[in-house]
Chain A
Amino acid sequence: MRQLAVLGGAALLAAVLLLAVVALAGFDAPAALQALWRGAFGSRDAWLSGTLVRATPLALTGLAIVVAFRAGVLNIGAEGQFLAGAGVATAVALATASWGPVSLLAALLGGVVGGAAIAGIATVLRLSFGVLEVISTLMLNFVAQYVVAWVVRGPLQEPTHIYPQSASLEMASRLPILLPGTRLHLGVLVAVALALGLAWWLAQTAAGFRLRATGLNAAAAASAGGISVSRVTAGAFLASGALAGLAGAIEVTGVTYALYDNLSPGYGFTAIAVALLAGLAPGVVLLTALLFGALEAGATAMQRDAGVPSVLVAVVEAVLILVLVLVERGRRAGWFTSDTTGEDPS
């Protein structure tokens, strides 16, 4: 409930900030905001082909962050895992083009395996050599990015060898469109189902509790609960990578139908904001992903219709996160209440 209030406040704050930033940059602020609104929610098409399509990869990568952060694993490599998943999915889809619908399933599975595999490198580094995952996953983002840049100019380049992109996927390897005439694909339902399933799993099951307990206090989880912390950590890390990889596979099979250099406009990084804004609650991730999806879809319209650079939206997103972190800190330190239950008044 409180999370929803925070979220409403965040949406409002985003609008006010955007007005201020756009006005400060010397543009017509009301016009820009109007264009943004139209681009995000203004029409059926804006909803179905813009906002929801943008929100889907954000929701999936956001869930990836939730799984990792709730277990105390600071995976900031969702971007790299997204790209790895997209790359493997493309390769699988192209190699199995003649298999019909099975090709799609194989591609999605390939995405899951690709994302988990690159996260697995960081997992092994952490558990066997004590390398901080913040550093390894950040670095692996670059590895994934450059490997994709290479494969779309090398092994996976389209047959004419002119453009730095893969060949287009066969129809059978593509995700079905939900509503004819829009870009809304089946992936959005996958994201919703996974979010609800993850929320249930974390709250209700023994394995979900083990993951949360490990994130809350690994020493107590091991000593008092007999929980194998390294196993839980590895599992959460791989699952996180798998989710981000699936997001990449869904993007390729549902939206772009090919692998590009700049496939992701930073979904894996925005995902951290999406997850944190949701308070790491899987259900709420759907809403925050929608907010960020709307901002990004609207930003494109704002640039097109009002001539306002879409990067200003990135500024707003960043400020939003900072404000949110401050609010969270303040809440913990009791800035907003006189009741400091956290203190032992002995």
Chain B
Amino acid sequence: MSALDRATAPEAPRAVPLELRGISKRFGSAVALDDVSLAVRPGTVHALLGENGAGKTTLMRVAFGMVPPDAGEIRLDDRIVRFASARDAIAAGLGMVHQHFSLVPAMTVAENVVLGGRGRYSAPAAAAVVQRAAARAALAVDASARVADLDVGAQQRVEIVKALARDAALLILDEPTAVLAPTEAHELLQWMREFAARGGSVVLITHKLGDALEVADDITVLRRGRMIRSGPRSSFDHDSLVAALLGEGSPTARAVASGAPVGAPHADTAGAPVLTLDDAGWRDASGIVRLHPARCVVHAGEIVGVAAVEGSGQRELLRILSGRLAPTSGRAMLPDAVGFVPEDRHQDAMLLDGTLIETVALRGAGRARGRLPWRRIAEFTQSLMTRYDVRGRHASLPGRALSGGNQQKLVLARELEPAPAALVVENPTRGLDIRATAAVLDALRSARDHGLAVVMYSADLDEVLSVADRMFVLHAGHLRAVPLDRDAIGRAMLGAT
């Protein structure tokens, strides 16, 4: 941004101090928050750090008026406020961007932004509102674009603009970098700094240490609903943050947190070819080529990593490799059954309203005949839960009773037991905390060591690199092999040669 732009850009509304004091919240018998306090200074980025289930999101939902606290008070500009709903919080200058966006895909950006307003709708007026908010925030959005046509990063900008159009001066962002490619994530973190520099404040909910250390002025760490530490960024270093986050963590979790590889490095003794793509390509119903004819071979006993920015054709590639999608050109030579852990476990892998036993019974259900041995499947489910550390009271709970990390561990366990010849996983650690992430990555390595052919895609490049034996990069639907070199991969993802 040039100096001229900066001078003419209107100021953001000034944030006032937000303080939460002694917030407690129980859900039934589960204590979600226990006497948590937190102060957000105007003009700063405040990182709220913790593992899944630590209570980060619940705390911010309390601040945003979505969840009434059982005890404690919310102070805004040193006055006690009571929000009956998110509407009150918005009126007081708060804005929240949730992990799962609340946009209407079929509507334009402008329509989404003014949605919930009063009076007549006028397209030019709505577009003007969007332009004003976008200019003020220095965010690029196209007011007339349909949300369904935007990529994830652009949708996130729309969410932010939506909050700012309602004069939010304090933004709560819930795991905003989870869905972004590395470069986009970096830009967003930069943007937070600029927003704070112009007088706004940001609460960044995250479980990524790096994000917090990179961008925050203040850091608060939650663990199991309690505040462990809170203080300026300068009072933390990497190790003390890991210690605060994990408490008496397992060595594995610590190692992952510090970025060190876990387990013995893999000997390059890859076995026979298991998955083979012979010019396999895919075009959608409207004739757009999502995957150009691709050739690749995945051998037994190796992990092949796939890196790509959002929407480069990885969705199609992974589904073709796992036999979930037939290529529209070329051939895919696959074994009978390939294990598949899709990105969206709610949508594609679990029966949320069925029992865990039924979620496990799903594997192979298409070919089963006669009566199902339910008692045996129940025992099997229970043993999977024990061996893969799935924390749920018993196997006949509904799927939705498990936390995200435990759901993912169960899905992975189901796909691995009994072992298939090959396993394809898509963003397997998305939304998982450090401990669950370590468990999932360990399971992938162990599958490889037992001779499975493994294909792994993750939006987190470092994560892919921590397990991959070979790498492929997809750019605009073109698949090519790249060396195991972070810079080379980064360039290839952006289409540079």
Contacts and interface: CB of A to CB of B under 8 A. Distances in A.
Given A344-B403, A345-B30, A223 B368 contact: no
A197 to B, nearest CB: 14
A66 interface: no
In the A-B complex, the 4 residue pairs with the smallest Cβ-Cβ separation, listed nearest first, are A339-B28, A226-B366, A206-B368, A225-B365
Nearest to B402: A344
Interface in A191-235: 204-206, 209-210, 212-213, 216-217, 219-228
Given A212-B354, A346-B403, 20 more contacts: A204-B371, A213-B351, A213-B354, A213-B358, A216-B354, A219-B348, A223-B340, A223-B349, A224-B363, A224-B414, A225-B366, A226-B367, A337-B28, A339-B27, A340-B28, A341-B28, A345-B27, A345-B53, A345-B57, A346-B57
B7 interface: no
Interface of A: 204-206, 209-210, 212-213, 216-217, 219-228, 337-346
A287 B5 CA distance: 73
B365 A220 contact: no
B369 interface: yes
Contacts of A339: 27-29
25 contacts: A204-B372, A204-B374, A206-B372, A209-B365, A212-B358, A213-B351, A216-B352, A217-B350, A219-B347, A220-B348, A220-B362, A221-B362, A224-B411, A225-B363, A226-B337, A226-B364, A226-B365, A226-B367, A227-B365, A339-B28, A342-B401, A343-B27, A345-B27, A345-B30, A346-B52
B370 interface: yes
B349 A345 contact: no
Contacts, number: 109
Nearest to B403: A344
Contacts of B52: 346
A346 B353 CA distance: 20
Contacts of B29: 339
Given A209-B365, A220-B362, A344-B404, A338 B28 contact: yes
B395 to A, nearest CB: 15
Given A338-B28, A346-B55, A346-B403, A224 B372 contact: no
B276 interface: no
B364 A225 contact: yes
A224 B362 contact: yes
B135 interface: no
A206 B354 contact: no
B361 interface: yes
Contacts of B352: 216-217
B324 A223 contact: yes
A289 B351 CA distance: 30
B196 interface: no
Nearest to A201: B371
A219 B52 CA distance: 26
A188 B57 CA distance: 55
Contacts of B411: 224
A196 to B, nearest CB: 16
B53 to A, nearest CB: 5
Contacts of B354: 212-213, 216-217
Interface of B: 27-30, 32, 52-58, 324, 337, 340, 342, 347-354, 358, 361-372, 374, 400-401, 403-404, 411, 414
A210 B366 CA distance: 7
Contacts of B369: 206
B340 A224 contact: yes
A222 B404 CA distance: 21
A15 B372 CA distance: 42
A204 B401 CA distance: 24
Nearest to B325: A223
B353 A216 contact: yes
Nearest to A227: B366
Nearest to A332: B353
B358 A346 contact: no
Contacts of A220: 347-351, 362
Given A220-B350, A221-B362, A224-B363, A205 B28 contact: no
A215 to B, nearest CB: 9
Given A210-B366, A213-B354, A341-B401, A224 B58 contact: no
A220 B374 CA distance: 20
Contacts of B58: 345-346
A271 B143 CA distance: 49
Contacts of A210: 365-366, 368
A4 to B, nearest CB: 19
A341 B29 CA distance: 10
B362 A206 contact: no
Contact of B351 (A205, A206, A216, A340): A216
A210 B367 CA distance: 10
A300 B55 CA distance: 59
A205 B370 contact: yes
Contacts of A219: 347-348
B372 A205 contact: yes
Nearest to A205: B371
A53 B358 CA distance: 38
B61 to A, nearest CB: 10
B410 to A, nearest CB: 11
A312 B316 CA distance: 57
Contact of A340 (B27, B53, B358): B27
Contact of B342 (A216, A223, A341): A223
Contacts of B358: 209, 212-213, 216
A214 to B, nearest CB: 10
Contacts of A338: 27-28
Nearest to A223: B348
A226 B363 CA distance: 8
B54 A346 contact: yes
A209 B351 CA distance: 12
Contacts of A342: 400-401
B368 to A, nearest CB: 4
Contacts of A345: 27, 30, 32, 53, 55, 57-58
Contacts of B347: 217, 219-220
B366 A346 contact: no
A228 B28 contact: no
A219 B340 CA distance: 13
B429 to A, nearest CB: 15
A209 B357 CA distance: 12
A84 to B, nearest CB: 32
Contacts of A337: 28
A324 B374 CA distance: 31
Nearest to A339: B28
Contacts of B350: 217, 220, 224
Nearest to B348: A223
Q: Which of A210, A222, A226 has its CB near the most chain B CB atoms (within 10 A)?
A: A226
Contacts of A217: 347, 350-354
